[in-house]
Amino acid sequence: MTDDALQRLYADFQAAGLMPLWTQREGLMPASPRPAAAPHVWRYKELYPLAQRAGELVPVGRGGERRAIALANPGLAGQPYATPTLWAAIQYLGPREVAPDHRHSQGAFRFVLEGRGVWTVVNGDPVEMRPGDLLLTPSWHWHGHHHVADEPMVWLDGLDIPLVSRLDAGFFEFGPDEVVEQATPTTSRSEQLWAHPGLRPIGAAATRQSPLLAYRAEHTDAALSGQLELESAGHPGVIEPGHAGIRFSNPTTGADALATMRLEMHRLRPGAVTAQRREVGSSVWQVFTGEGVVSLGEQELDVAEGDCVAVPSWCPLRIEARSRLDLFCFSDAPIYEALALTRTGGNA
Ligand code: 1HN
């Protein structure tokens, strides 16, 4: 075959909408993941004042729906994505403001950093939001937020927006303009039914997404302290020395609370260091309290309260605690597990 003939073949491939594997095999099937997303840190001392300025200048209302400011990964070409599958944002709601009711097929959660006085109403169930709480808005659940107190409130929003976009599975619907539910109970209906450890209501069916909509800071704290106290007394339970962790789970199945996102809280004793690990799939970590050093491959990042870190797929991660360090973490691990793509490694 002559060069000319080969040129004509490639031109005819192109004209016919065809592409040969042999010129692209390496790009299509790299030896190991080559994420476009970069390891990156967003610092709370920058995030908070910017969110505050947005609070002064930008009203919350119908259309925009939320005063949520997305963490845009510098490797992801100007898209509002923390990683290729995860959206993370700082949301700011001022005194007496209302974020209107809507629902979407994207699954969501909020992890509260500071403030008080906001209730998120999920499918008509008013759920109070307090610092350190994790609140769920599973896929296609109606939700709006209303603020009844005098200080602004700030939280981390996590959604599976980039994944759902790639999957062409996005649906969105506005709810009524008026706020349907203004009640402010301290315990939601979902907690009345489901927040009793090990006690499953006999009348309730198993569901793919957790029916428990609030995981309270005091329960998370007690679970983590318990692991470290047991460790001090020589009993098993921690992940590794000085490192306790819990996963927020669906009480009907014991599986991840949300279908597309894994949600966890970790606590390191002062001075504790995790092993270096890497896994396929990406994650976002937020420091809830304390300070430390997060190593992402070659990069070492000092982190303090409120800072958020994006960990790309297969990037080696190691965490060192400079004080007692509490970290909230969310990842896309349930997707990889469902698709039999899970892989973990030790040292890079
Ligand atoms: C949303 O509904 C919330 O309910 C937060 O607080 C962030 C980002 C995109 C689309 C919907 C919320 C969101 C969102």
State yes or no: pLDDT of 66 exceeds 60: yes
- What sign does the CA torsion over 317, 314, 36, 113 have? negative
Question: How many helices and strands (H and E) does the chain possess?
Answer: 7, 22
pLDDT tens across 103-120, in order?
Answer: 999 999 999 999 999 999
The set of protein residues with a Cβ atom below 6 angstroms from ligand 1 is 65-66, 68, 89, 91, 99, 104, 108, 143, 157, 159, 161
Query: Would you place residue 77 in the very low, low, confident or very high pLDDT band (cuts 50, 70, 90)?
Result: confident
State yes or no: pLDDT of 165 exceeds 70: yes
As given in the structure block, the two tokens for residue 168 are 């062409």
Yes or no: say if 75 and 65 are a contact pair by the CB < 8 Å rule: no
Residue nearest atom 3 in ligand 1 by C-alpha distance: 66
Query: Would you place residue 180 in the very low, low, confident or very high pLDDT band (cuts 50, 70, 90)?
Result: low
- Give the number of C-alpha atoms closer than 13 A to the C-alpha of residue 220, restricted to the C-beta side: 25
Using the mean position of ligand 1's atoms as its centre, give its distance from the Cα of residue 106 in Å.
9
Yes or no: say if 282 and 230 are a contact pair by the CB < 8 Å rule: no
72 CB-near residues (< 8 Å, 6+ apart): 78, 79, 80, 81, 82
- What sign does the CA torsion over 122, 83, 209, 164 have? positive
Query: Would you place residue 280 in the very low, low, confident or very high pLDDT band (cuts 50, 70, 90)?
Result: very high
Yes or no: say if 267 and 228 are a contact pair by the CB < 8 Å rule: yes
What's the chain's average pLDDT? 96
Per-residue pLDDT at 347: 57
Using the mean position of ligand 1's atoms as its centre, give its distance from the Cα of residue 68 in Å.
7
Mean pLDDT computed over 237-245: 98
Yes or no: say if 319 and 264 are a contact pair by the CB < 8 Å rule: no
Mean pLDDT computed over 330-345: 97
Mean pLDDT computed over 243-265: 98
Could you state, in order of their start, the residue ranges of all structural domains in the chain? Answer: 32-196+210-345
Mean pLDDT computed over 42-57: 97
Per-residue pLDDT at 60: 94
As given in the structure block, the two tokens for residue 197 are 């450890």
As given in the structure block, the two tokens for residue 56 are 């002064």
Residue nearest atom 12 in ligand 1 by C-alpha distance: 66
Percent of the chain with pLDDT over 70: 99
Which amino acid is residue 259, in one-letter code? A
State yes or no: pLDDT of 214 exceeds 70: yes
Residue nearest atom 1 in ligand 1 by C-alpha distance: 66
Using the mean position of ligand 1's atoms as its centre, give its distance from the Cα of residue 126 in Å.
17
Yes or no: say if 270 and 243 are a contact pair by the CB < 8 Å rule: no
State yes or no: pLDDT of 1 exceeds 70: no
Mean pLDDT computed over 220-238: 98
Q: What are phi and psi of 145, to 5 degrees?
A: -125, 140
Tell me the C-alpha distance between 238 and 230, whole Å: 8
Residue nearest atom 14 in ligand 1 by C-alpha distance: 66
Mean pLDDT computed over 122-146: 97
pLDDT tens across 15-40, in order?
Answer: 999 999 999 988 899 999 999 999 99
Name the CATH superfamily, with its identifier, for domain 32-196+210-345: Jelly Rolls (2.60.120.10)
Using the mean position of ligand 1's atoms as its centre, give its distance from the Cα of residue 188 in Å.
21
Task: Give the nearest ligand 1 atom to 87 CA.
Answer: 8
Mean pLDDT computed over 85-105: 97
Which residue out of 65, 97, 139 has the highest number of ligand 1 atoms within 8 Å of its CB and is therefore the one to mutate? 65
Using the mean position of ligand 1's atoms as its centre, give its distance from the Cα of residue 236 in Å.
39
> Between the CA of residue 109 and those of 138, 139, 156, 255, 263, what are the distances in Å?
8, 10, 8, 16, 9
Mean pLDDT computed over 143-159: 96
| 104: helix, strand or coil | strand
State yes or no: pLDDT of 70 exceeds 60: yes
State yes or no: pLDDT of 262 exceeds 90: yes
Which residue out of 60, 159, 163 has the highest number of ligand 1 atoms within 8 Å of its CB and is therefore the one to mutate? 159
Tell me the C-alpha distance between 105 and 164, whole Å: 8
Per-residue pLDDT at 190: 98
Using the mean position of ligand 1's atoms as its centre, give its distance from the Cα of residue 66 in Å.
6
Alpha helices in 138-216, H assignment, sequence order: 161-166, 189-194
